[in-house]
Structure 1
Amino acid sequence: MSLTIIPYEPKYAQSFKDLNIAWLKKYFYVEAKDTILLEKCEESIIDQGGFIFFARYKGQIVGCFSLIRINDTTYELGKMAVEPTFQGMKIGQRLLQFALDLAKEKGWKKLVLYSSTKLPTALHLYKKYGFKEVVLENDLPYARSDIKMELELNN
């Protein structure tokens, strides 16, 4: 498969927003935090020390994810989405492996993510890559989140 993973460029901001809005509307609704991250992804993610990457297949943006900085050694894996017509092609796995490789290369200690038990395919993928369920804090970033997972990175 001629899939490449490429870093954020301003010209891809609309793709980042569109990919995420699609899955949010399919399963949930767009929350205030989503709006901030998606409308102003450069300011709210990149400029804060985070990262956004895209999966490009045959010249088309078909997936994305972000790594949102929590502190120097911990990042939140978020806003991972794959265009529905390209799901089932292991694009999500490629994106997740890329995120893990980058985190290890950067010497980070931990990745965290918030998800929902309404997304069993995503949860299966995260568990497959070693994420473990941990206790949810009270002040959650998203109303839809009913599960928090972490991956301790051994660098």
Structure 2
Amino acid sequence: MSFEIIPFDPKYKSAFYDLNIEWLETFFYVEDYDREVLSNPERYIIEPGGHIFFAIENEIVLGTVALIKAHDGVFELTKMAVLPNQRGKKIGQKLMEHCIKYAKKNKFDRLFLYSNTKLENAIYIYRKYGFREIPVEKDSPYKRSNIKMVLQFLKVV
């Protein structure tokens, strides 16, 4: 499988929405917060300093992921979704690897994510890439999340 990972392109905006809504409806449910962010990724992700990446093959979006800026040097790894017929082909892992490399190249302090322990394979993969569990704050933006994980980058002084 040969696909490329590209930065946000407005022509794939509907794929970003559709893939994420499908994933949420398959595994959980869509929260109002999700619908708001997914409907307007430029406003909620790109303009505040975040990033969206797409895994593309022959102009087809196979998967997507976002890095939402929490504050300087700290980004939430979120909105990762892969086409149902492409799952199991490590596209999500390649997107995550891309985000980690991007974060290191751009000297981010850390990445964090919210998930749910029912997604055992995802949690295993996050741990494999160095994410460690931290407490979920009481005002978490996602009702469905019951685990928060962080990947801290070492600062070279």
> TM-score band, normalised by the shorter chain?
over 0.9
What percentage of aligned pairs have identical amino acids? 47
CA distance in 1, matches of 2:13, 2:59: 16
1:147 counterpart residue number:
147
Stretches of structure 2 lacking an aligned partner (at least 5 in a row):
none
CA distance in 1, matches of 2:38, 2:99: 19
Deviation at 1:57, TM superposition (A): 2.1
**Superposition pairs of residues 1-150 of structure 1, within 5 angstroms:** 1-150=1-150
Q: Please, which moves more after superposition, 69-78 or 50-59? A: 50-59
Residue by residue over 1:82-128, the C-alpha shift from the partner in whole angstroms, topping out at 9 and shown as x without a partner, is 11101111111110100000000110011000001121121111111
CA distance in 1, matches of 2:48, 2:144: 24
Instruction: State whether residues 2 and 58 of structure 1, in contact with CA within 8 Å, keep that contact through their aligned partners in structure 2.
Output: no
Deviation at 1:12, TM superposition (A): 0.7
Q: What's the secondary structure of 2:63's corresponding residue?
A: strand
Deviation at 1:58, TM superposition (A): 3.3
Q: Any runs of at least 4 consecutive aligned residues in structure 1 with deviations exceeding 2 A, and if so which?
A: none
Q: What's the secondary structure of 2:137's corresponding residue?
A: coil
CA distance in 1, matches of 2:147, 2:89: 25
Deviation at 1:59, TM superposition (A): 2.8
CA distance in 2, matches of 1:22, 1:147: 22
Q: What's the secondary structure of 1:95's corresponding residue?
A: helix
Q: What's the secondary structure of 1:103's corresponding residue?
A: helix
Q: What is the letter of the counterpart of residue 90 of structure 1?
A: K
Q: What's the secondary structure of 1:45's corresponding residue?
A: helix
Q: What's the secondary structure of 2:77's corresponding residue?
A: strand
Deviation at 1:153, TM superposition (A): 1.1
CA distance in 1, matches of 2:124, 2:68: 22
Q: What's the secondary structure of 1:150's corresponding residue?
A: strand
Residue by residue over 1:7-35, the C-alpha shift from the partner in whole angstroms, topping out at 9 and shown as x without a partner, is 11111110000000001001111101101
What is the RMSD computed on CA atoms of the aligned residues?
0.9
